[in-house]
């Protein structure tokens, strides 16, 4: 029987659909690639080389072009989080944000923010009690006698200052920015990008960094740089971290967006403690956070750091964080991407992971959330690494060890965790916010 043209067309379409479905089924069930390694050490060496190659390929030298791409990414939903861009009334979905975000008078009461920290950095006062200093000049040309109106001039002052920005700006640092004690860098109400060199907190107390974008920091050779109003001296080479914290305490990093720096995004070393990193968004980076830089720095046993309500997003490889010696509370964070592992460490750190969501990559070789760096089971079996109320997805698993956590802390030090199934909402507004004067953020 002769077929009409319509029947022929329908037959062809059906054949194509069946073939496509078969191809998709094959792709879905394709076994993961095997690795040609014979030991755990060789496996991690191979993964590290893959990560370094990825980092080299992902690094973009042009921060303006990268900024445009980042803004496009922010406008699109992150599919692994299943969150659309929110446009409704103010929602403060975690206890830190509930303290200030939905107040329409935030711009006239900026220093209220200093009362809102939780976790081990809850005592960080930043520039509270001090005057407001307005950054009007994005340049960074003078390192010994900074120009008034620049960010560098503000952060070196010997008195408490609450530093804000007159307008949106890109500040390209010519050398590391050395921040003095009792300072708040508050980017609310403007789009502030800090690039070019790292922000250094060394031997200081009470610093808050909030609401800025930090990216494309690169190493610098050092030189004569002022670190306070009454002192300048010769600085050695800087590594190109995003934020480097050395021998400092009472530090709070909140609602920052960070990506694509030459070394770590946030490094905390040399006996620093009483620190909270919260409500932030991390993307496109290899070594994300390092807490304790050396196996010989036993003073890091005093280190206490809270990592809460952050989104570890696209293009991340490892160290979210990597820890040594101290005590680390990792609570209600959203881990949607990693290439090697999420949380790692060595030298007997205590890591309490509570109410996080871990979505493993599709790569079958990177399902484990944890990694003990260069430590055999006989050594790490007594380290206290605990997973409580975490949600594991796509095959993710957490390798626990040790006995119970014997330490006891107050509610301000230890943020009460919600079950990991609520993490999507708790971290919905991670990263910088689009705050407008006269309206809730």
Which of the residues are catalytic? 319
In the block, tokens 């803004």 appear at 71
Strands (E) in 116-211, as ranges, are 131-135, 161-165, 169-172, 177-178, 183-186, 192-196, 199-202, 205-210
Q: C-alpha distances in angstroms, 283 versus 37, 64, 95, 113, 335?
A: 29, 16, 24, 25, 11
Q: CB-side exposure of 312: number of CA atoms within 13 Å?
A: 36
Residue 327 exposed, middle or buried by CB count within 10 Å (0-12, 13-18, 19+): buried
Q: C-alpha distances in angstroms, 141 versus 64, 137, 177?
A: 20, 11, 12
Identify whether the C-beta of residue 250 lies closer than 8 Å to the C-beta of residue 124. yes
Q: What angle do CA 150, 65, 435 make, to 5 degrees?
A: 55
Within 105-222, residue ranges assigned H as helices are 151-155
How many angstroms separate the CA atoms of 336 and 410, rounded? 30
Q: C-alpha distances in angstroms, 213 versus 166, 220, 253, 340?
A: 16, 20, 12, 25
Identify whether the C-beta of residue 143 lies closer than 8 Å to the C-beta of residue 165. no
Identify whether the C-beta of residue 301 lies closer than 8 Å to the C-beta of residue 273. no
């Amino acid at each position: 029987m002769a077929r009409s043209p319509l029947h022929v067309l329908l037959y062809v379409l059906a054949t194509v659909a069946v073939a496509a479905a078969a191809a998709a089924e094959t792709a879905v069930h394709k076994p993961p690639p095997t690795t040609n390694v014979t030991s755990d050490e060789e496996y991690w060496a191979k993964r590290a080389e893959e990560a370094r190659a990825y980092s080299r390929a992902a690094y973009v030298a042009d921060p303006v072009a990268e900024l445009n791409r980042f803004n496009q990414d922010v406008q699109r939903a992150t599919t692994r989080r299943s969150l659309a861009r929110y446009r409704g009334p103010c929602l403060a979905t975690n206890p830190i944000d509930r303290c200030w975000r939905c107040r329409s008078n935030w711009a006239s009461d900026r220093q209220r923010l200093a009362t809102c920290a939780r976790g081990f950095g809850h005592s960080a006062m930043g520039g509270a009690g001090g005057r407001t200093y307005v950054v009007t000049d994005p340049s960074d040309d003078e390192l010994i006698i900074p120009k008034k109106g620049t960010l560098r001039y503000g952060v070196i002052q010997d008195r408490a200052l609450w530093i804000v920005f007159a307008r949106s700006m890109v500040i390209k640092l010519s050398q590391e920015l050395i921040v003095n004690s009792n300072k708040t860098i508050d980017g609310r109400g403007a789009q502030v990008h800090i690039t070019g060199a790292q922000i250094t907190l060394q031997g200081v107390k009470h610093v808050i960094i909030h609401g800025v974008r930090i990216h494309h920091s690169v190493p610098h050779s050092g030189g004569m740089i002022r670190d306070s109003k009454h002192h300048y001296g010769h600085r050695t080479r800087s590594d190109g971290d995003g934020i480097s914290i050395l021998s400092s305490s009472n530090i709070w990093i909140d609602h920052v967006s960070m990506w694509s720096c030459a070394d770590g995004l946030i490094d905390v070393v040399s006996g620093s403690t009483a620190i909270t990193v919260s409500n932030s968004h991390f993307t496109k980076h290899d070594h994300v956070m390092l807490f304790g830089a050396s196996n010989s720095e036993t003073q890091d046993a005093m280190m206490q750091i809270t990592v809460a309500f952050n989104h570890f997003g696209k293009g991340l490889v490892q160290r979210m964080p990597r820890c040594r010696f101290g005590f680390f509370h990792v609570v209600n964070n959203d881990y949607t991407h990693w290439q090697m592992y999420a949380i790692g460490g060595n030298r007997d750190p205590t890591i309490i992971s509570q109410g996080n969501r871990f979505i493993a990559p599709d790569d079958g070789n990177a399902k484990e959330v944890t990694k003990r760096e260069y430590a055999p089971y006989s050594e790490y079996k007594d380290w206290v690494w605990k997973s409580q109320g975490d949600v594991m997805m796509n095959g993710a698993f957490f390798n626990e060890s040790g006995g119970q956590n014997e330490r006891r802390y107050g509610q301000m030090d230890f943020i009460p965790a919600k079950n990991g199934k609520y993490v999507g909402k708790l971290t919905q507004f991670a990263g910088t916010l689009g705050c407008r004067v006269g309206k809730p953020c």
